[in-house]
Amino acid sequence: MTPLVSAFELELPRDYQVIGEPVDMAGVHHMLKQPGGRYQFQWWALGLVEARPYGAVGDSKQGKKGADKGVDGIITFLERGESRLVMQQIIVQVKSGHVEAGDIRELSGTVEAKQAAMGVFITLQEPSKPMLEAAHVGRYYHSAYSGQAHPKIQILTIEQLLSGQAKVDMPHTRKATFKAAPTEKEQLEIDQVGLW
């Protein structure tokens, strides 16, 4: 997310459009056919959920190629801790090929091993019934900030993300994926709580 987008809380496609990136499934399939298309697809898909590519350095939007150990991207957000706000992580995996229930179990294991708050699985294909069952095993992340429960493992399709039918179900606290000053509203909230 650029500073301009975050400062004015703009949303795609309501407030602006990006030229040169897929806007429909035909564009997605065209991207995948290009040299390096699978890596471009992965980084582009991470942008749909405002995740930072795993291994990115500084403000880079590009991660590292190679073995990612089950992590393609990270979304971070602020959560209420015992005495101050703490950063939590959501692990994001992106798959453009064949997917199955084992992929969801693998993501769940990665979330546990890395002590992340949640995991999001982004897929080009529609998830199978066994995949959905593996994701919905009754585990939730309970936000101390909002008091709400959010599915620990979530499956989102590219088609859902492009159409705006789905987004990451996460606490409505400040996303902290990229460095940015708090908005005026958030700063007032932080000052009132006294936890910054």
% of the chain exceeding 90 in pLDDT:
59
Residue 64 lies in a domain: yes
pLDDT at 13: 64
| Segment 76-97, tens digit of pLDDT | 999 988 888 889 999 999 999 9
Q: Which residue's entry shows tokens 């990451």? A: 168
Q: Sheet of 85-95: strands edge to edge? A: 52-53, 73-80, 85-95, 118-123, 153-157
Residue 196 lies in a domain: no
Both tokens assigned to 189: 């909230």
Query: Which band of pLDDT confidence, cut at 50, 70 and 90, is reported for residue 195?
Result: very low
**Distances from the Cα of 29 to the Cα of 41, 50, 97, angstroms:** 9, 21, 11
SS3 labels along 78-126: EEECCCCEEEEEEEEEEECCCCCHHHHHHHHHHHHHCCCCEEEEEECCC
Residues composing the chain: 196
- For the chain, how many structural domains are there in total? 1
pTM of the model: 0.77
Residue 27 lies in a domain: yes
Mean pLDDT of 131-154: 93
Count other C-beta atoms under 10 Å from residue 41's C-beta: 22
DSSP state of 178: S
Query: Which band of pLDDT confidence, cut at 50, 70 and 90, is reported for residue 166?
Result: very high
Question: Which range has the worst mean pLDDT, 104-113, 127-136, 164-173, 179-188?
Answer: 179-188
Long-range CB contacts (within 8 A, 24+) of 62-65? 65/39
Residue 39 lies in a domain: yes
| Segment 15-74, tens digit of pLDDT | 776 677 899 999 999 999 999 999 999 999 999 999 999 865 444 445 454 445 679 999
Residue 104 lies in a domain: yes
Residue 136's domain is classified under what CATH number?
3.40.1350
pLDDT at 162: 95
Range of the domain at 45: 3-191
